[in-house]
Structure 1
Amino acid sequence: MRNVTSSDATPIDPPIPVPDVPGADATVRGLPRRIDLTLRQRLIVDTSAVADIALRTAIASLIATTMLPTLLSGLRGDRSRAEQDQLRFYGELAAEKDPALSFPAPTAVPRVSSRPASPIAEWVARGNVHNIRFDSSFEAVNPALRDQCRGFTRNNVVHAQHWRHDDGPHPTLCVIHGFMGSPYLFNGLFFSLPWFYRSGYDVLLYTMPFHGSRAEKGSPFSGYGFFANGFSGFAEAMAQAVHDFRSIVDYLEFTGVDRIGLTGMSLGGYTSALIASVDDRIQTVIPNVPVVAPDQTVDEWFPANKVVQLRSLLSDTGSELTKAATQYSSPLNYEPLVPKDRRLIITGLGDRLAPPEQAEMLWEHWDRCAFHWFPGNHILHVSQPDYLRRMTRFMRGFMFD
């Protein structure tokens, strides 16, 4: 097995200059109290939280807009009954707490086509970069929705970008983007992936359902389809996200990769935490600013929260029915398959899109594993080089001999 070629002393230059105000690992009590922070840390947390609230309102407005068509359809009695049946379906499935039942594995290695990425991508990586694609083998978990899901023709083609070294397969770091954040170039720079590549990792950037090239024609923005088809549509999008990523793992293993690490931001953090409870081939998992209980998070997302409440009222789906159904795709509903010493959670104290309390819930569920915080928000990751080095030190023992 190859050794890491870069050390912790290697410079990391984040794409957005941020204040050098360090965070730290959580203590046995969890995240620090406000009184435990320095004056500079409190200032960064408070100002970044205000900025995050503005961003959250803008994103919530977009999500509310995507839900309006299903809100209007909820006025019909037949649609209301169908919504209740769908929520019961996912609630009953969640109650089994069986990831193999909730997220059936792909049955065959995908037939992958590959082509060289743009010269810009190769310049950023300073290496060999290919864009890959293959037909998704996903079938909707809920039989009543299979025809609908088959009709999403663009979404049913899986896309990813693969950074590979020329001397054969290396341990591979897979990255899952957040909601609306699918561009490969943005993620490559934001996560300083060239630095990981120089450290000896191959890198794979996975495109979530309904994002980027997977967005259906007429989608007003990347990720629109995730929330445009009601709660059942969100549940099936998450199921497909897990299924298609497991096909990616099949592909990587077929090419000779034997060690796979997984990280993701926001919705990608949610997805990576869920995958870590479904697929035992993941060597290490690092959810970054994850949401883990979306039913609780949406309560603070004005105006989307009002649309959700009105939709529930029109379809006569009570809070208990909805709460039970949301457990279907929550990583809190399943036991992690990645060992405790290979789990690391990262959160921002000023985050108001994925509040740090959500990460703390995952930390408790994951037996109080490694937990790192920074004094920034959802987008402004203050002292990001610090946690990138934390990730590298953490992964080295599992990914390299």
Structure 2
Amino acid sequence: MKGETVRDVHRWPAEAWVPLLAGLAWLWEAPGQGLIGLLLAVVPGCLLLGSGVSMLLMPGDRRIAQFAAAGAALGVGFALPAVFVVGVGAGLVLAGVSAAAFLAAGVHSLRDQPPHDGVPEPIASLRLAAQVAADEMLLAEMVMAIRPPTRDDHARVEREVSSARDRFAAEGWLEKPERYHRAPPPLVEPRIDRRRMRGLDYEHLHFDSGYEPHPDEPGRERWLSYRANRTAHAWVVRHVGADRPWLLCVHGYVMGTPLVDLAVFRPGYFHEKLGMNMILPTLPLHGRRSIGRRSGEGFFRADVLDMIHAEAQAMWDMRRCLDWVRRQTSAPVGVYGLSLGGYNAALLACLDPDLACAIAGVPVADFTRILFRHGPPRNLRILHDVGLSEERMRELTRVISPLELDPKLPRERRYLFGGIADRIVPADQVRDLWRHWEEPRIVWYQGSHVTFRAHRAVNRLIDDALHESGLVA
């Protein structure tokens, strides 16, 4: 893996016994407690026992910590109803051993994962182990929720990639990726509905996206068949009658609903305390634009042309949102993105020359590397069998890569933060974007992907970015 240092495999790790014994404890209670006891015990028990044994017998497989964390989290959650089946004492024991197994999953992940060149070393602690385990648990859920493509799907993708590669090269887009992105039309009269949620007044802005892939581009007709995705959506929180700076906030993978987006981006702080206006666009295939049961479904299925079109449309829609904002004010506008949103913030900074600042939080920087890191081994074998290598995929995604385009705003207006022990977006992704951005100010925090808000240095960086760029007086 690019940028990783090889670490020796640790045989017979002591932490393996914790999930192993926790799994045995769950399964020991099951036989004598009837059907309800069995149903409560079998999933966390099997996951914990299996992952504990795997830590001992198959060290080095990064999926082990994911399933250990998932089983432990289920164990803690199932312990409460288990109290009514096995009694208070036994229920508390099951909760305790499950919590210990959760920490053990984080310890194992920290032990097993190699460090990254140019990134500070993680400082081992139970607090950090708990944060890493939270990442591993979420990662297990994300990976399991992705519908696996078939061999025929992969063969179709390979044909599309071959055809698209020839087209992109002929058009000069691989050599100059910025040319792939067309300037969108102005956004003059979007539809705006007033909404209220949890005491917060906000507006739902929606409009016909108007984005279409280039004529005769592979995957074009399939992309246009996603009807829900044709309508762009954004949540707007603004001060009435006041000319305030704006912050465009870009959500992460599987987000895209007002309940989640407005909770993560804290309008109580940015809007009410700092006095800013906010606009939160929904990325393609997310939220109301989803094409499946789950927000974001289809984005990371290794369907390369869909992924390229999703990013191209994201840039198109966000640039239209910025046009709408700038028609109302001459105040500065900045962009702040998290995770997948950090990738989009970084890419937008390469296409819009007038942003006041770009804050990329725990940002993905290389889609291909993420897919090949987290993809199930069976899917990766099929990709290899049909001839779709990581290098071929990376070449085609140059047109949407923030590592291939250059940011248009000055170096001193670029900001990044990344988790040293991030398991969802490994630290080498953040490091590579930081290097491409000419090493601007960055905060490395001793934490994981989902815990950035718990670290004061991150919050200070965001505050400093907003003040230094003139978004906050």
Task: Please classify the TM superposition score into its range, dividing by the shorter chain length.
Answer: 0.7 to 0.9
Q: Which runs of 5+ in 2 are unaligned?
A: 1-116
Measured against aligned partners, the alpha-carbon deviations of 1:299-338 in whole angstroms (never above 9, x if no partner) come to 32141x5414413522x33343222112221100011111
CA distance in structure 2 between the partners assigned to 1:267 and 1:394 by the alignment: 20
State the TM-score, normalized to the length of structure 2: 0.69
Paired residue for 1:183? 257
Q: Structure 1 counterpart of 2:187, which letter?
A: V
State the TM-score, normalized to the length of structure 1: 0.81
Kindly tell me: are residues 396 and 215 of structure 1, through their superposed partners in 2, closer, same or farther at Cα, counting changes over 3 Å? same
SS at the partner of 2:353? Answer: coil
Q: Structure 1 counterpart of 2:282, which letter?
A: T
Q: Structure 1 counterpart of 2:185, which letter?
A: T
Paired residue for 2:176? 97
Kindly tell me: are residues 189 and 318 of structure 1, through their superposed partners in 2, closer, same or farther at Cα, counting changes over 3 Å? closer
Paired residue for 1:56? 139
Superposition RMSD in Å: 2.4
CA distance in structure 1 between the partners assigned to 2:182 and 2:167 by the alignment: 16
1:326 aligns with 2:397: yes
CA distance in structure 2 between the partners assigned to 1:82 and 1:165 by the alignment: 47
Residue in structure 2 matching 1:297, options 359, 363, 370 = 370
SS at the partner of 1:290? Answer: coil
Superposed, 1:2-401 pairs within 5 Å as: 31-34=119-122, 37=123, 42-63=125-146, 65=147, 67-69=148-150, 71-75=151-155, 80-90=158-168, 94-99=173-178, 101-120=179-198, 123-124=199-200, 128-141=201-214, 143-144=216-217, 145-198=219-272, 199-216=274-291, 219-227=292-300, 230-303=303-376, 306-314=378-386, 316-381=387-452, 383-398=454-469, 399-400=471-472
CA distance in structure 2 between the partners assigned to 1:91 and 1:344 by the alignment: 33
CA distance in structure 2 between the partners assigned to 1:376 and 1:90 by the alignment: 40
**More helix per residue:** 2
Q: Is the 8 A contact 2:234 2:282 kept in 1?
A: yes
CA distance in structure 2 between the partners assigned to 1:226 and 1:328 by the alignment: 16
SS at the partner of 1:186? Answer: helix
Kindly tell me: are residues 86 and 61 of structure 1, through their superposed partners in 2, closer, same or farther at Cα, counting changes over 3 Å? farther
Q: CA deviation at 1:229?
A: 7.7
CA distance in structure 2 between the partners assigned to 1:228 and 1:32 by the alignment: 32
Q: CA deviation at 1:291?
A: 0.9
* Larger of the two Rg values belongs to structure: 2
User: Which shows bigger deviation, 103-112 or 90-99?
Assistant: 90-99
User: Between the two proteins, what is the percent identity of the paired residues?
Assistant: 25
Higher relative contact order (CA 8 A, sep 6+): 1
CA distance in structure 1 between the partners assigned to 2:419 and 2:265 by the alignment: 15
CA distance in structure 1 between the partners assigned to 2:385 and 2:330 by the alignment: 49
Q: Structure 2 counterpart of 1:224, which letter?
A: E
SS at the partner of 1:224? Answer: coil
CA distance in structure 2 between the partners assigned to 1:193 and 1:185 by the alignment: 12
CA distance in structure 1 between the partners assigned to 2:289 and 2:371 by the alignment: 25
Q: Is the 8 A contact 2:191 2:207 kept in 1?
A: yes
Kindly tell me: are residues 45 and 91 of structure 1, through their superposed partners in 2, closer, same or farther at Cα, counting changes over 3 Å? farther
CA distance in structure 1 between the partners assigned to 2:324 and 2:348 by the alignment: 16
Give the count of matched residue pairs. 353
